[in-house]
Amino acid sequence: MEIMTYQEKYKNQIVDLILDIQNNEAKINLSLDEQPDLKDITSCYEYDGGEFWIAVDDGVVIGTLALMNKGNGNAVLKKAFVRADHRKKGVLSKLYNELLAFANSKDIHTIIFDTPSVATNCHHFFEKRGYRRIAKDELPFEYHYPDRDSYVYMINR
């Protein structure tokens, strides 16, 4: 397995992985149109000082994680997905370590993310790393997301 930053040649695999997990596993019925960031990953993440990482195993995308830089030391963690047959094998940990190193290099200290209430494994992963669940009115900056019975988490590092 290799962790790398976004490459256009993997775009279709990335979109397919994310939509499959969101809609077939989590049953949240989230369309690609509701996620414009997936249509133009480079513009939505890299141009604004963020990044999008993928885990690739034998040419197949098995995981994703992204950071959207919102300025002033704030960012949104997005697209934390790992293919079912690769979960609990350290894939998300490796992706998250890349994200942390990047956040440190950009002096990002507040990270938030939204996640469906049904994504309990995701909740546990990030809670173990110091994230705490917050109410939407506690968001430290403006952030809009397609709410599908979502929880919001935050960490100040």
pLDDT more than 70, % of the chain: 98
The pLDDT, as a whole number, for residue 113 is 94
Residues facing 64 on adjacent strands: 54, 81
Where does the pLDDT of residue 147 fall: very low under 50, low under 70, confident under 90, or very high at 90 and above?
A: low
The pLDDT, as a whole number, for residue 148 is 67
Mean pLDDT of 38-48: 94
Where does the pLDDT of residue 32 fall: very low under 50, low under 70, confident under 90, or very high at 90 and above?
A: very high
Whether 55 has a pLDDT exceeding 90, the answer reads yes
Instruction: List all residues 6 or more positions away from 142 whose beta carbon is below 8 Å from its beta carbon.
Output: none
Where does the pLDDT of residue 149 fall: very low under 50, low under 70, confident under 90, or very high at 90 and above?
A: confident
Burial (0-12, 13-18, 19+ Cβ within 10 Å), 11: middle
Provide the mean pLDDT of the chain. 94
Mean pLDDT of 102-124: 94
The pLDDT, as a whole number, for residue 12 is 98
Q: At CA 57, angle to CA 17 and CA 50, rounded to 5?
A: 60
User: pTM for this one?
Assistant: 0.94
Nearest CA-CA partner of 44 in 11, 22, 21? 11
Locate 135 and state its tokens.
Answer: 């109410």
Mean pLDDT of 49-76: 97
pLDDT more than 90, % of the chain: 84
Calpha distance 151→154 (Å, rounded): 10
Q: At CA 126, angle to CA 59 and CA 18, rounded to 5?
A: 35
